Amino acid sequence: MARASHIVRKKLERKVLSTEEDFRSSVVQMTKSAQRGLAIMTPDLEPEIYAHPDFLDALKHFTLSRPFARTRVLVTASDRARRTGNDFLQMGRRLNSYIEFRNLPAEHCPRDEAFCIADDNGVVYRPRCDSWEGIADAGAPAVAQMYLETFDSLWHIC
């Protein structure tokens, strides 16, 4: 029994991210662990992350297997997102009652950050969009809540 709790604790430890693959795999894991909702803030829908087949499969499973699943996406640089086709955006159009996109006006963009929050418990966070360095933590309700409050206040501006 002690071994099982050790495994759970290890899975919830904070992880330092340094590469695109680290960030993508953490977002996929966070999406797979979500039960109710995802909140994503991204500059331009980052196709290397959110249009990747691993993420799209996890999102599709999350969305279709939970009756009240909700994914909210806040895009902070919508001009770049519109110029490139994106499979994430296409999925959002097909599942528009579960996935909602909003463009944040430039004058309200807080900092140059990107994150994905699962429910109100887990977060994958990068302080700068021009770098893949950041953190992932599936068991950080206080941190997730802090970023979720930021997300919600920006969401209501749009």
Give me the average pLDDT of each 10-residue run along the chain (158 residues).
Answer: 40 84 96 96 92 96 92 83 73 90 81 91 94 94 93 91
Looking at residue 97, its pLDDT comes to 87
Looking at residue 80, its pLDDT comes to 58
Residue with tokens 């990107």: 114
Q: HSE on the CB side for 130, CA within 13 Å?
A: 2
Q: DSSP characters for 71-92?
A: EEEEES-HHHHHHS--HHHHHH
Looking at residue 118, its pLDDT comes to 96
Cα dihedral: 49, 84, 93, 137 (round 10): 20
Looking at residue 10, its pLDDT comes to 43
Looking at residue 109, its pLDDT comes to 72
| CB-CB neighbours of 68 under 10 Å | 8
Is the domain covering 15-157 a CATH 3.40.640.10 domain? no
Looking at residue 3, its pLDDT comes to 43
Question: Strand ranges (DSSP E) for the chain?
Answer: 15-17, 37-42, 70-75, 99-103, 114-118, 122-126, 134-137
Looking at residue 1, its pLDDT comes to 42
Pairing of strands 70-75, 37-42: parallel
| pTM of this structure | 0.87
Contact 89, 81 (CB under 8 A): yes
Residue 102 CA to residue 80 CA, distance in Å, equals: 14
